[in-house]
Amino acid sequence: MSDPVLLSADRGAVRVITVNRPDKLNALNAQTLDALHAAFQAAAVDASVRCVVLTGSGPKAFVAGADISEMNTLTPVQGRDFSLRGQRMMRGIEKLPKPVIAMVNGFALGGGLELAMSCHLRIAADTAKVGQPEINLGLIPGFGGTQRLLRLAGRAATLELCLAGAPIDAQRAQQLGIVNRVVPTAELEAQTMALADQLANAAPLALRGILDCINVGGECGIEEGLEYESAQFGLMFATDDMREGTAAFLERRKPAFAGR
């Protein structure tokens, strides 16, 4: 599919979705939020897609934030609706039954960091910078930044990033647990696609089970999380992929997972 604000291309079982507003440093306006929501919903139901990579076009930015020119005229009610629109899209990414990797190729600020944090994994170029600078606009994060950053980096780091509003480099972001890996800019695409291909060749139902367990466990108590994990573990024994994976291990060969 193709959209004025999005580009989409399939590389085998990996779908690469690119926010395509380089003249605006890929800033998120209402049109882009809706296009992303539709693109990820389409990826969720496309059986040929087993992993999604999300990135931004151009050499400077993953997504530099929400579109300030659009926000500047919003009323309080419209501002709340804009926040809910972004949260709906990002919650959809977070709950996608297939792994999503953010390929952070440049600035990921404000809504851009919030978008990256909604993805399951984040690989950043060593030149990337991330942050929640909304305080400098007289705003607060509105697309889930206070909540996801708190869960990834902890209270102290979240308070510093949100209250001070200063960006940090990719290396510091990795130390805080905001990004999973930092790689040389020249190797970003190759290393991201290598991980995406690895996930695309893994057992799809097991991937979904892991994502579900971690999503549920992150929002409930330990006992409920453990119970949910046991239930999902048991369900795997009803799949052809589990039989194939264990047989391949015993036969010392590479498994061929079919997603059944």
pLDDT > 80? residue 248: yes
Q: Is residue 185 part of a domain?
A: yes
Residue 121 and residue 242 in one domain: no
What's the total number of domains in the chain? 2
pLDDT > 90? residue 259: no
pLDDT of 186 reads 96
Reading the block at residue 257, the tokens are: 């997972």
Residue 144 and residue 236 in one domain: no
**Nearest partner of 19 among 94, 95, 119, judged by Cα:** 119
pLDDT band at 131 (very low <50, low <70, confident <90, very high): very high
pLDDT of 59 reads 87
Residue 99 and residue 52 in one domain: yes
Residue 112 and residue 153 in one domain: yes
Q: Which residues contact 119 (CB under 8 A, 6 or more apart)?
A: 54, 93, 94, 100, 101, 102
pLDDT band at 258 (very low <50, low <70, confident <90, very high): confident
> Tell me: the pLDDT tens digits for 175-227?
999 999 999 999 999 999 999 999 999 999 999 999 999 999 888 899 999 99
Q: Please give the helix or strand (H or E) that residue 44 lies within, else none.
A: helix 30-45
pLDDT > 80? residue 2: no
CATH number for position 232: 1.10.12.10
pLDDT band at 3 (very low <50, low <70, confident <90, very high): low
Residue 96 and residue 169 in one domain: yes
> Tell me: the pLDDT tens digits for 79-105?
999 999 999 999 999 999 999 999 999
Of these residues, 134, 187, 227, 244, which one is catalytic? 134
Q: Is residue 260 part of a domain?
A: no
- Do residues 55 and 100 touch, judged by C-beta distance below 8 A? no
Under DSSP, the state recorded for 144 is: S
What residues form DSSP beta bridges with 130?
Answer: 108, 168
| Residue 114 is among the residues annotated as catalytic for this protein | yes
Per-residue HEC secondary structure of 156-210 comes to HHHHHHHHHCCCEEHHHHHHCCCCCEEECHHHHHHHHHHHHHHHHCCCHHHHHHH
pLDDT of 162 reads 97
Q: Is residue 74 part of a domain?
A: yes
Q: Is residue 259 part of a domain?
A: no
Under DSSP, the state recorded for 247 is: H
Residue 153 and residue 113 in one domain: yes
Residue 59 and residue 146 in one domain: yes
Of these residues, 114, 187, 189, 251, which one is catalytic? 114
| Residue 70 is among the residues annotated as catalytic for this protein | no
pLDDT of 219 reads 87
Domain membership of residue 158 as a residue range? 2-200
